[in-house]
Amino acid sequence: MQSNQANAAAVRAFRVLEVVSARVDGCTLAEIVEAIALPKQTVHRLVGQLQQAGLLMREPAGRRLQLGVRVERMALDALMNGPARQERRAILQRLVDTIGETCNLTALAGTDVVYLDRVETSWPLRMMLAPGSHVPLHATSSGKLLLSLLPKAQRERLIAQLSLRGYTGATIVDREVLERELVETRRRRIGINRSEHLRGLNAIAVPVMLDRQRACAAVAVQAPEGRMTLDDLLGQVPRLREAAEAIRATLA
């Protein structure tokens, strides 16, 4: 009996996490109660336990609950190591074979972008980064793209936390300039890195959309200016979008 009760409690706790993770701006306790149809007292107890474990967190001075850092880390690990990883890597490999330059799959991780997977070009001039590597949001095509597609309140909170360190003379280090760039990025749904992270290395990115409103990752291609101009990279957008749709299907 105790084992069955523990199993039931674990499933209920997981259901709470599912509900919160499905909402871009988190949930109130009342919204969780409505979604999972359990007594408020039971949900309150589950939420308290999840908060103590670092699996849920409450917004500062707010009533809304968000996923904790531990859940975000587990989600990234699941994407990097889950059963569809090889299928996604094959999609990236085909993209690299077609374009001839390094392509990667990225996601947001706090104030950084993390590489979920990456397939390197065979050219000798390349930047080697392993899956799990972190790069800055404000100086990368994927980072600016995923940041631009966040809901306004969440985007503004994240921008306020960025250090806006300058990596090259082209890095955006002014918040107002960054916000204007994000408006344009959101409009075109293409992230552009104009040698903002490494001098002479350009990149573009397109989103992997869970639905019409939510992006869960980005597919990007990068190349030295000596091999491909920014216009050359932008000419590859249709191929990147095809790859992004194929990757979205693996997540469905």
Can you spell out the DSSP letters for the chain? -HHHHHHHHHHHHHHHHHHHHTSTT-B-HHHHHHHHT--HHHHHHHHHHHHHTTSEEEPTTSS-EEE-HHHHHHHHHHHHHSTTHHHHHHHHHHHHHHH-S-EEEEEEETTEEEEEEEE--SSSS-----TT-EEESTTSHHHHHHHHTS-HHHHHHHHHH-----SSTT----HHHHHHHHHHHHHHT-EEEESSSSTTEEEEEEEEESSSS-EEEEEEEEEETTT--HHHHHTTHHHHHHHHHHHHHHH-
Q: What per-residue confidence (pLDDT) applies to 1?
A: 41
Residue 135 has pLDDT above 70, yes or no: yes
Lowest mean pLDDT among 83-87, 184-188, 240-244: 83-87
pLDDT of residue 127: 61
Per-residue DSSP letters for 76-104?
A: HHHHHHSTTHHHHHHHHHHHHHHH-S-EE
Q: How many CB atoms lie within 10 A of CB 58?
A: 15
The mean pLDDT value for 239-252 works out to: 92
pLDDT band for 48, please (50, 70, 90 cuts).
confident
63 pLDDT exceeds 90?
A: no
Percentage of the chain beyond pLDDT 70 is 88
What distances in angstroms separate CA 35 from CA 13, 23, 152, 167, 208, one per listed residue?
13, 11, 24, 45, 27
Overall average pLDDT of the 103-107 stretch: 94
List the strands of the sheet with 215-224, edge to edge: 134-136, 112-119, 103-109, 215-224, 201-209, 191-194
Q: Which of these ranges, 108-117, 121-130, 200-209, has the smallest mean pLDDT?
A: 121-130
Angstrom distance (rounded) from CA 116 to CA 79: 7
State residue 12's pLDDT score.
86
**Residue for token digits 């523990």?**
6
pLDDT at residue number 129: 64
Give pLDDT tens digits for 207-223.
999 888 889 899 999 99
Q: Please give the pLDDT value at position 11.
A: 86
> What pTM did the predictor assign?
0.77
Average pLDDT score over the chain: 87
Q: Residue 2 pLDDT > 60, yes or no?
A: no
Does the pLDDT value for residue 5 go beyond 60? no
pLDDT more than 90, % of the chain: 47
| Average pLDDT for 18-24 | 77
For the cut 50, the answer to whether the pLDDT of residue 206 exceeds it is yes
Residue 162 confidence (pLDDT) above 60: yes
